Amino acid sequence: MQPSPAFASLVDSVMPHVNLLTIEQYQQQDQWQLIDVREDNEWLQGHLPDAKHLSRGIIERDIEHRFPDKSTPILLYCGAGQRAALSAYNLQLMGYTQVASMIGGYRAWIQHQFPIVED
């Protein structure tokens, strides 16, 4: 589904404020806590190894329970990067200091033919 113009505009407005990380950068640094912000059905169809699941709808509510230390390095991903960028921006507003969004998200991971986990 193509994003609406208003959604695209919202994503564009937060992008300058979000740290973006490539898959290669993620693979070279092992400190990241990887979080999948996609919906439950997307997670069940496949997700990145070592990822934890906090969907876009609940991440702001539940993040402090899972990661109370706001200096924890957190890398978010979604299908293509838009929802992860919005989530990353919100986590920064909540005081998290080392948050990034994975460029290209799950789709880019699949295009690289990297392994996934299926539940």
Q: For the domain made up of 5-62+78-111, give the CATH fold.
A: Oxidized Rhodanese; domain 1 (3.40.250)
Which token pair is 67?
């990661």
pLDDT of residue 30: 86
Give the model confidence (pLDDT) of 59-101 as tens digits.
999 999 999 999 999 999 999 999 999 999 999 999 999 999 9
pTM: 0.94
Q: Averaged over 17-33, what is the pLDDT?
A: 95
pLDDT band (50, 70, 90) for residue 119: confident
More confident residue, 83 or 1: 83
SS in 3 state form for the chain? CCCCHHHHHHHHHHHHHCEEECHHHHHHCCCCEEEECCCHHHHHHCECCCCEECCCCCHHHHHHHHCCCCCCCEEEECCCCHHHHHHHHHHHHCCCCCEEEECCHHHHHHHCCCCCECC
Percent of the chain past pLDDT 70, that is, above it, reads 100
